[in-house]
Amino acid sequence: MNAPRRPLPGWAEIALLPLVNIALAFVTVGVIVRIIGVDPLQALRLLVVGALGSSESIGYTLYYTTNFIFTGLAVAVAFHGGLFNIGGEGQAYIGGLGCGLAILALDRVLPAWAMIPLAIVAAALFGAAWAAVPAWLQAWRGSHIVITTIMFNFLAAALMVYLMVNVLIAPGSMTPQSRTFTASGKLPSVHEVMAGLGIEVAPSALNLSIVLAVLCCVAVWVFLWHTPWGYALRTMGHNPDAAIYAGTSLRRTTMLAMCLSGGLAGFVGVNELMGVHQRIVLDFPAGYGFAGIAVALMGRSHPLGIVLAALLFGALQQGGAELAFEIPTINREMVVVIQGLIILFSGALVNLPRPWLQRVFSLAPSRKGQGS
């Protein structure tokens, strides 16, 4: 007779189940790689070395990770409120626009210690404002948040193209990009900071926005689990009727959740524009807003889980470039396939290994009982 199944322990739900899903995704990738004639173990080794094999590789991995943390947190905050925010791409775009406009307007008159915090606040405010419109449409007009946030991604892209081509383009430039920021509008690179401390590391795109990402993780954890506003937001996500009974305004809480979500997504512009490009450019979100959905799903919408999931996606992004360079048979599209399979197993097939794990855990007490 089969042992009765029981719910998975909390630690297994948070840690073990995602690891098993990732393992299944990599096994599937290994089969595909073998079919196209490449040794899966060699491909895995190149992937790991490309992501972690040098200080430069680690720097780029953490740079990509920073963006995934911002968008993963953005999606997670909305998730906890029962809202499916698919507009992280557009919110990151407009957040970057706000960051860039603040710098272009003031970087010639303000010192770095004033310019950098102001630009970060502008990124959050513009991202929040862009998310506030779909939030208002859902809260007061009943529009579906998924549809409106998707549409606002396209609106953001169209707005940025118009502004970059007709308004913000640098004089005499043939490329749709703004003028270069002055020194006060640039976020220091980590390798520059480390060099100032007497530690030599290879130059990379990693900059101090990773510190902002860590602070955002702590702030989201404190807000969601240690403040009355976070408790009200999570209550709305779990049971709107109970939230209403407790006196929570669903409209205000919806606005709060989406504005926080948009503000977090807007920080992608800080990493990309202040830390790397040092000017406003087109297409800098590069799909981070959509990948943030997978990061939030893998991380179970918890800041710690999101950091771990973001590290995985950052390693895939960086290691995939090395893999495509070393093995011509595996191109960048194959890396997208790997990411897609991880999303598939962590999203649509998230519960596939659950019965097996429950069966394993259900055997533990029976064996203990037999031995006593």
For residues 20-40, give the mean pLDDT: 85
- In this predicted structure, the answer to whether residue 349 has a pLDDT above a threshold of 80 is no
Alpha helices in the chain (DSSP H): 10-11, 17-35, 40-52, 55-80, 88-106, 112-141, 145-166, 190-196, 209-226, 228-238, 240-245, 250-266, 268-269, 288-298, 303-326, 332-346, 354-371
Rounded CA-CA distance 338/170 in Å is: 38
Contact 285, 268 (CB under 8 A): yes
Q: Return the closest-CA partner of residue 130 out of 100, 99, 177, 92.
A: 92
Does residue 277 or residue 334 have the better pLDDT?
A: 277
Lowest mean pLDDT among 3-17, 59-73, 147-161: 3-17
What pLDDT shows up at residue 372?
42
- Single out the residue of 66, 12, 78 nearest to residue 293, CA to CA: 78
What is the separation of C-alpha 21 from the centre of its chain, rounded to a whole number of angstroms?
Answer: 19
pLDDT over threshold 80, residue 5 = no
Name, in order, each residue with C-beta under 8 angstroms of 365's C-beta and a sequence gap of 6 or more.
none
Q: What is the DSSP string of 195-241?
A: HHTT------S-BTHHHHHHHHHHHHHHHHHHSHHHHHHHHHHH-HH
Question: What are the tens digits of pLDDT across the range 245-280?
Answer: 989 999 999 999 999 999 999 999 999 999 999 999
Residue pLDDT, tens place only, 232-248: 999 999 999 999 998 99
Task: State the pLDDT confidence band at 371, using cuts at 50, 70 and 90.
Answer: very low
- For the segment 308-336, the average pLDDT, to the nearest whole number, is 83
Which of 36-40, 68-72, 238-242 is least confident?
36-40
Percent of the chain with pLDDT over 70: 95
What confidence tens digit (pLDDT) does each residue in 183-221 have?
999 999 999 999 998 888 899 999 999 999 999 999 999
Angle 209-226/250-266 helices, nearest 10 degrees?
Answer: 160
Among residues 177, 186, 137, 159, the alpha carbon closest in space to that of 280 is found at 177
Q: Which of 3-12, 31-40, 316-325 has the lowest mean pLDDT?
A: 3-12
Q: What is the predicted pLDDT for the residue at 286?
A: 85
Residue 157: is it exposed, middle or buried by C-beta count within 10 angstroms (0-12/13-18/19+)? middle
Mean local confidence (pLDDT), 25-41:
85
Tell me the two tokens of residue 270.
């800080």
* pLDDT band of 356, cuts 50, 70, 90: confident
More confident: 177 or 356 = 177
Mean confidence (pLDDT) of the chain: 89
83 pLDDT tier (thresholds 50, 70, 90): very high
Residue 347 or 141, more confident: 141
* Of 116-120, 168-172, 309-313, highest mean pLDDT: 116-120
Write b or e for each residue in 29-45: b if 16 or more Cβ atoms lie within 10 A of its Cβ, otherwise e.
bbeebeeeebeeeebbe
Task: Give the pLDDT score at 60.
Answer: 95
